Structure 1
Amino acid sequence: MTRSAKGITRRGALALAVAGATAGAVAWLVGEAEGAPGTGVHSGSPHAGHGSDAVAGLEGVRERGQTGLLLRSRIDLPAPFGSPLPLLRPARAVHTAQGDLYEITARSAVAELLPGVQTTIHAYDGRMPGPLIVSRRGTPVIVRVRNELPFPVTTHLHGGRTPAVHDGFPTDLVLPVGGWPHPLAHEGRIAEGGRDYVYPLDQRAATLWYHDHRMDFTGAQVWLGLAGMHLHRDEEEDALSLPRGDREVPLMIADRAFDADGSLMYPAVDRDLAVVGGVTGGFHDGVLGDVILVNGRAWPELEVEPAQYRLRLVNASNARWYRLTLDGLAHDEPGFVQIGGDGGLLAAPVRHRALQLAPGERFDVVVDFRGLRRGDAVVLGNALGDGSTAKVMRFRVRADQADDDVVVPDVLGVVEPLGEPVRARSFSFGRADAAGASASGHAAVWRINGEGYDPTTAVAEVRAGDVEEWEFTTDNRHPVHVHLSPFQVVARGARGPGPFDAGWKDTIALGPGERARVRVRFDADPGRYMLHCHTLEHEDMAMMANFDVV
């Protein structure tokens, strides 16, 4: 069942925010209001949502090579590599005449993210990451999402060429099964309790992922667990000699921080995730955690054979960038053989000694463990981390030898350069000179072309089938994501594409003061889509814009 929602005015939203900041401050900053369902989000208080009478706010520190503030966990952290990596197995689909149906429930659960510690998460099927979806070109996928959480959700398939109605637009909300007592600040396609997302998936094989995209609350809701992986396959990929079965390993990397009781810490303005979105002032640049999770486990270990492995990497962090390294291989060649990126297979392999991942980016790599012996170890590290964030996971060799007939070919796939653009556009990503207010009442700190996000307007109208050239400029680190259509990087500044720009992209990692040009051809799916910064706190604080495909 769906219904439309009349948006309250911006002034009305601000009035609600002011009222909440006055009458409801104790509930937000100190503890949970009596009878409130609670989310477990720790906002102004280090124990908000647990009845604490503490009033000290969460504090963060700067971390080298990052944009944002680091939250330091209040619980004793485990030694790294003491837990096995959770292996993501394909979820079971129901085959229907319309496509493969996956039924997923967004719900609360208790998970063991740290060894021996129970943590409440809010996640797809109560798992972090959510169920692994594996699809094949030519077979549509229907994801039926039921919302048993105490707040609205909306789900975006990141990297999917998806009709607008199923793209997870930020105001197209799925309300909780038990109802939603709060006013809705925006017009949108509203579903009560659940809805179907239909994905045609007529696109190349690629590493995709799905996550919550609720306007102003994406950062908090992804931090709490609403993200999962999706591997899409086709015949072009099938024809290649690549690692398969247990030697193909999906890895979702994300950072988090934990309070003394094991709960997740996050500086949400509204710890009930109800009315006012965004984060408290010091965290506008982004939220960083001091614990690195891989597939929902802190600094895990994976036993491997002395063979080649295919690693499907997703940076699902809110704000953290990684520069991944491999220490302990038996050869001196670059450790990462990149075969794919956001939009699928590259034309040819690219070899890297270190691999940079910005939030939202995916890399498909082959790592060669041959030549190692039983008991040898290879550490996946992070050169952009310090202390606990400098390690990601470890691979431990479990045998002296193994069969391996994989030969990564010199030619992987067909990546045809896009033609000349019919028009050019420029988008500047930067901090607001003076923060205004979003429609939900929080400070709109970040801007695209000097404007904060308005879901009712579009900054561009593009024609289906046209090729356009878009220029992005930045004031800080901003990974820029474009919905619907992948793009090709043409240039960074006065130079050509960078070392991590090969193939089709949908997210480009841009550093401070950087300028890049990309070419994009828009698929023939009319409707409203988005581009935005994929630092989730920037996105929540108004660094988004719409474009209409006509």
Structure 2
Amino acid sequence: MREHLTRRQVLGIGGALGLLTATGLAASAALSRRPSFTGAVLRSALPLPPAFHVPLPIPSVLRPVSTAGGVDRYEITQREAVLEVLPGFRTPLWTYNGTFPGPTIESRRGRPITVTHHNELPVPTVVHLHGGRSTPEADGYPTDLVLPKGWPGTKPGSHGSGSGHVSGGGHGGGGHGGGHGMHDPRAVVTELTRGYTFPIDQRATLLWYHDHRMDFTAPAIWRGLAGLHLVRDDVEDSLALPTGPRELPLMITDRSFAADGSLVYPSLDPTLRERPGVQEPYLAGVLGDVILVNGAPWPMHEVDATRYRLRILNASNARHYELEAVTDDGRRLDLVQIGADQGLLPAPVTHQQLPIAPAERYDVIVDFSTIAIGSRIRLLDRLGEGRTREVMAFHVARKAKDDSRIPPRLATDLPDWRRSDAVRVRDFSFRAGQLNGGHGWVIGGKAFDPARSDVTVRLGDVEVWRLVADVHHPIHLHLVGFQVLSRGGKAPLPHDAGLKDTISLRPGESAEIITRFDGYRGRYLFHCHNAEHEDMGMMANLEIV
């Protein structure tokens, strides 16, 4: 399977963009025969390090600065840092608290937290807690900016609603567009600092936080603005799942590097100040040629011959993975899925390969107890080629006592939504389209406009949404989780189990999801989580009233 796009394929996608703009979804079948990825690989200009030599880093858990009044309070500074990502090289990054990934936050269901972010970066930022049941004020709407010191057009000490001008101006991409500016009268803009308060009124699960600034989400995440957030609860605690050092958070990303070790990314404006978008060959998505796990290239982790709980996040901009765990003699280990984006499943689901799209999370148990001491298990990507086929490895170092188990029943608190409960059915197409005279990505034929209301739902209503895609689109709903009802008119796939907040649509594929819009009234989003697609227009407003 070829991983790169040839010039002919790039031109073919460009032609398909125009065709789709003209003819809509009738052209999607032609794209469905394309390879199992969407995007183009950005090649590194330095020798890549050998796999499985660097130890797996575990992101530090952030300590609250205060726990008074039943609220845990955290402080995070967004700042530039120079870190050793590839051995022997120094890489400038944009970070949360000077690390990549940022520090992990662990919270408890029902106990609110406040995270105060300080922006010391050269551009505005926004923080979104992905998968969080957040109030609209704390959801990280793309125009709710935290401005850096001295940002043009701001008055000293000004803050609050009504600033309205977003990120230097409008959508652009694929070598076109950009710079026209958009006004959002509802934007809440602050200078230097913003506190985000989260009620943590949700099931135990793995969330993540990342930058969500309008038009510039993709390059900001690429430069390092991503971190993990674990929610714990009593249900999870009662199940005797692997814990402590046998619970491993794994943030999988891909990146590419210049000859001096710095990151490369095909921004039209490398300062990320004015013109959004990427160079023409990368309009479908940017794929790196180095696979990082927790910020380390192809790491190795030493394990006991016991069960381990892997909390897997695909934090890549556009790369999809199909993971498998394989011994050096070719035996596949079961990947026993116990949770999805929004927490535990009703019962375990066993996979030998597990597809994971950008922003999806899977909670998986792997049992190393049958593996001979001294053996190696590689976590591989079946969609990769060459070096990107490898992800990381585990070295089974010793026998050890294991009191963990995989219960046959996991969660009993999942919603029981039925198709007959839905008060309406909506249809959404996710496809290529025109944007400011150039190539972009649209929902229902429209590129994102923060001032336009796209979908209005009533608080408490159950709805069925029918989604259809031209190429790969991982679709994310803010605030709510959903269940997958069908794919292509057939039953959901095994990895669709449980409560999700992101669904991966494959080229030419349709799916139905069902959800209840509960929680809070206000303005939210749904969008493609291919970050380049998102920046080039593939977002829509969701108003809950």
TM-score range, shorter chain: 0.7 to 0.9
Q: 1:149 — aligned with what? A: 121
Q: 2:445 — aligned with what? A: 450
SS in 2 for 1:236: helix
Higher mean C-alpha deviation, range 279-288 or range 369-378 = 369-378
- Alignment-mate amino acid for residue 410 of structure 1: P
Question: After superposition, what is the alpha-carbon deviation per residue over 1:135-188, rounded to whole angstroms, capped at 9, x for unaligned?
Answer: 000111111000000001000000000011110000000011344458644331
In the TM superposition, residue 334 of structure 1 has moved relative to its aligned partner by 5.0
Match of 2:41 among 63, 70, 82: 70
Q: 1:483 — aligned with what? A: 478
User: Is 1:460–2:455 an aligned residue pair?
Assistant: yes
Higher mean C-alpha deviation, range 83-92 or range 329-338 = 329-338
CA contact (8 A) 1:177 1:194 kept: no
In the TM superposition, residue 77 of structure 1 has moved relative to its aligned partner by 0.6
Distance in structure 2 (CA, Å) of the matches to 1:341 and 1:329: 28
Match of 1:166 among 121, 134, 138: 138
In the TM superposition, residue 219 of structure 1 has moved relative to its aligned partner by 0.3
Q: 2:177 — aligned with what? A: none
Distance in structure 2 (CA, Å) of the matches to 1:497 and 1:277: 36
User: Is 1:515–2:513 an aligned residue pair?
Assistant: no
Q: Describe how 1:49-448 pairs up with structure 2 within 5 A.
A: 64-93=35-64, 94-97=66-69, 99-180=71-152, 184=166, 185=181, 186-187=183-184, 188-328=187-327, 334-399=333-398, 401-414=399-412, 415-419=414-418, 420-432=421-433, 434-436=434-436, 443=438, 445-448=440-443
Distance in structure 1 (CA, Å) of the matches to 2:456 and 2:35: 39
Question: After superposition, what is the alpha-carbon deviation per residue over 1:377-430, rounded to whole angstroms, capped at 9, x for unaligned?
Answer: 10001000001100000101111x110122201100022321310111111000
In the TM superposition, residue 524 of structure 1 has moved relative to its aligned partner by 3.2
In the TM superposition, residue 494 of structure 1 has moved relative to its aligned partner by 1.6
- Alignment-mate amino acid for residue 487 of structure 1: F
In the TM superposition, residue 500 of structure 1 has moved relative to its aligned partner by 1.0
Distance in structure 1 (CA, Å) of the matches to 2:300 and 2:35: 26
Q: 1:6 — aligned with what? A: none
SS in 2 for 1:538: helix
Distance in structure 2 (CA, Å) of the matches to 1:482 and 1:416: 17
Distance in structure 2 (CA, Å) of the matches to 1:502 and 1:302: 29
Distance in structure 2 (CA, Å) of the matches to 1:88 and 1:281: 35
Q: 1:496 — aligned with what? A: 491
SS in 2 for 1:220: helix
In the TM superposition, residue 332 of structure 1 has moved relative to its aligned partner by 6.3
- Alignment-mate amino acid for residue 338 of structure 1: Q
Match of 2:520 among 522, 525, 547: 525
CA contact (8 A) 1:315 1:357 kept: yes
In the TM superposition, residue 116 of structure 1 has moved relative to its aligned partner by 1.6
- Alignment-mate amino acid for residue 258 of structure 1: F
In the TM superposition, residue 368 of structure 1 has moved relative to its aligned partner by 0.4
SS in 1 for 2:440: strand
In the TM superposition, residue 64 of structure 1 has moved relative to its aligned partner by 4.9
SS in 2 for 1:500: helix
In the TM superposition, residue 98 of structure 1 has moved relative to its aligned partner by 5.4
Distance in structure 2 (CA, Å) of the matches to 1:208 and 1:426: 27
SS in 2 for 1:97: helix
In the TM superposition, residue 335 of structure 1 has moved relative to its aligned partner by 1.6
Distance in structure 1 (CA, Å) of the matches to 2:333 and 2:472: 26
In the TM superposition, residue 129 of structure 1 has moved relative to its aligned partner by 0.4
Q: 1:23 — aligned with what? A: none
Q: Describe how 1:16-27 pairs up with structure 2 within 5 A.
A: none
SS in 1 for 2:337: strand
SS in 2 for 1:454: coil
Question: After superposition, what is the alpha-carbon deviation per residue over 1:27-69, rounded to whole angstroms, capped at 9, x for unaligned?
Answer: xxxxxxxxxxxxxxxxxxxxxxxxxxxxxxxxxxxx9521001
CA contact (8 A) 2:487 2:493 kept: yes
Distance in structure 2 (CA, Å) of the matches to 1:540 and 1:499: 31
CA contact (8 A) 1:329 1:372 kept: no
Distance in structure 2 (CA, Å) of the matches to 1:338 and 1:331: 21
**TM-score with structure 2 setting the length:** 0.86
Distance in structure 2 (CA, Å) of the matches to 1:191 and 1:89: 28
Distance in structure 2 (CA, Å) of the matches to 1:364 and 1:151: 34
Distance in structure 2 (CA, Å) of the matches to 1:332 and 1:295: 26
In the TM superposition, residue 194 of structure 1 has moved relative to its aligned partner by 0.9
Match of 2:469 among 470, 474, 477: 474
- Alignment-mate amino acid for residue 547 of structure 1: L
SS in 1 for 2:103: coil
In the TM superposition, residue 435 of structure 1 has moved relative to its aligned partner by 3.3
SS in 1 for 2:495: coil
SS in 1 for 2:102: coil
- Alignment-mate amino acid for residue 435 of structure 1: L
Q: 2:176 — aligned with what? A: none
Distance in structure 1 (CA, Å) of the matches to 2:112 and 2:390: 38
In the TM superposition, residue 330 of structure 1 has moved relative to its aligned partner by 9.4
In the TM superposition, residue 117 of structure 1 has moved relative to its aligned partner by 1.0
Unaligned runs of 5+ in 2: 1-33, 155-164, 167-180
CA contact (8 A) 1:329 1:369 kept: no
CA contact (8 A) 2:80 2:93 kept: yes
CA contact (8 A) 1:151 1:180 kept: no
CA contact (8 A) 2:325 2:332 kept: no
Distance in structure 1 (CA, Å) of the matches to 2:543 and 2:378: 45
CA contact (8 A) 1:312 1:365 kept: yes
**TM-score with structure 1 setting the length:** 0.85
SS in 2 for 1:303: strand
In the TM superposition, residue 457 of structure 1 has moved relative to its aligned partner by 1.1
Distance in structure 2 (CA, Å) of the matches to 1:315 and 1:395: 19
- Alignment-mate amino acid for residue 421 of structure 1: A
CA contact (8 A) 1:326 1:378 kept: yes
Higher mean C-alpha deviation, range 340-349 or range 408-417 = 408-417
Higher mean C-alpha deviation, range 419-428 or range 128-137 = 419-428
In the TM superposition, residue 372 of structure 1 has moved relative to its aligned partner by 2.2
Identical-residue share of aligned pairs (%) = 50
- Alignment-mate amino acid for residue 344 of structure 2: L
Question: After superposition, what is the alpha-carbon deviation per residue over 1:423-468, rounded to whole angstroms, capped at 9, x for unaligned?
Answer: 1111100001x3326xxxxx46110000010001121110111100
CA contact (8 A) 2:117 2:195 kept: yes
CA contact (8 A) 2:59 2:102 kept: no
Q: What's the C-alpha RMSD, in Å, of the aligned pairs?
A: 1.6
Q: 2:10 — aligned with what? A: none
C-alpha distance 300-332 of structure 1, shift in aligned 2 (>3 A): closer
